[in-house]
Amino acid sequence: MKKSNTFKIVAVLIALFVAGIAQAADNYISVADASYALRVYAGGTEALEIEITSGAGAGANNTVTIGSSVTTIDGSGASVDIISEFAAAIAAATNSAAGTPLTVDSACALPADSTDGELLVGTYTAAAGTWLEIPWDTSVALHYDVYIPAFDLANTDVYRGNLAIDTIYGNPVGTGAVTLSVYVDGSLAWQKLMPEVYAYSNNTASVELPVDVALNAFGKAVIVRAARATTATTGNIGTTVDRQ
């Protein structure tokens, strides 16, 4: 093969590689009262409805309805007041045939995250074969989260592949110091405390976001969290990632 042809082939391969990198960059953003606390898949053939009652999860009458079967989750005591316990209670809910068809994705939160008032009051529904999401009440939970699952959001059998967390950006409106954290597969992998100077509200004070992270998350589930020390209101948090 001629040397000139070899150079051409190498140049084309480099161009394709660089183009692939450019196309692999993604942005994820989550706004107040929209960060996922739990995701639930309605398996089987019946529709699903989950109601988070007054008390934002801490109420005694949260319900999971599958078809004609209603399961009550009492979140007012100590037995169901963190994510792992709430997820287990939902997964144990039965359908009209006394089966347990629900799949709960709790990787969008930390197992010990409190649900004692932090879940957003509302009624959440899913047709059979689809997912529903239960969000955080940001003003109570005091954090904004971006969740990047290890699998395709619509299908737990389709894995997303490796990615790297490049930057964290956004406007996590509230008061008190900001703690930025990245959790990989439920474990803290990166953290940065933003001191009180970053306690901005409605973009009126100096903001030093985005922040560089440069963390390889491989093919594992990721939570990017911006936690406020005192209040959290109407802001957002986002992250830029490179797929590998």
> What is the residue-level pLDDT of the chain in tens, covering all 244 positions?
544 454 444 343 334 333 343 345 799 999 999 999 999 999 999 999 999 997 767 788 999 999 999 999 999 888 999 999 999 999 999 999 999 999 999 999 999 999 999 999 999 999 999 999 999 999 999 999 999 999 877 777 778 889 999 999 998 988 888 889 999 999 999 998 876 444 444 444 445 678 899 999 999 999 999 999 899 989 999 999 998 7
Q: Give yes or no: residues 55 and 108 share one domain.
A: yes
User: Which residues fall within 8 angstroms of residue 125, CB to CB, at 6 or more apart?
Assistant: 47, 48, 49, 50, 132
Q: Give yes or no: residues 63 and 154 share one domain.
A: no
Instruction: Quote the number of domains for the chain.
Output: 2
Q: Give yes or no: residues 156 and 105 share one domain.
A: no
Question: Among 106, 137, 168, which residue terminates a domain?
Answer: 137
Q: Give yes or no: residues 147 and 132 share one domain.
A: no
CATH number at residue 223: 2.60.120
Does residue 169 sit within a domain?
A: yes
Q: Give yes or no: residues 165 and 115 share one domain.
A: no
Helix/strand/coil for 18: helix
185 residue type, one letter: D
Does residue 147 sit within a domain?
A: yes
Q: Give yes or no: residues 125 and 174 share one domain.
A: no
pLDDT value of residue 174: 87
Does residue 215 sit within a domain?
A: yes
Q: Give yes or no: residues 133 and 35 share one domain.
A: yes
Q: Give yes or no: residues 75 and 177 share one domain.
A: no
The Cα–Cα gap between 94 and 182 comes to 35
pLDDT value of residue 185: 95
Q: Give yes or no: residues 123 and 181 share one domain.
A: no
Contact (CB, 8 A) for 91 and 103: yes
Question: Among 108, 137, 166, which residue terminates a domain?
Answer: 137
Does residue 8 sit within a domain?
A: no
The predicted model scores a pTM of: 0.84
pLDDT value of residue 159: 82
pLDDT value of residue 78: 84
Q: Hey, what are 134's tokens?
A: 């239960």
pLDDT value of residue 195: 64
CB atoms closer than 10 angstroms to residue 171: 19
Full domain range(s) for residue 32: 27-137
Q: Give yes or no: residues 213 and 154 share one domain.
A: yes
Does residue 7 sit within a domain?
A: no
Question: Among 107, 137, 167, which residue terminates a domain?
Answer: 137
Taking the C-alpha atoms of 226, 109, 139 and 51 in order, what is their torsion angle to the nearest 10 degrees?
Answer: 160
218 residue type, one letter: F
Does residue 197 sit within a domain?
A: yes
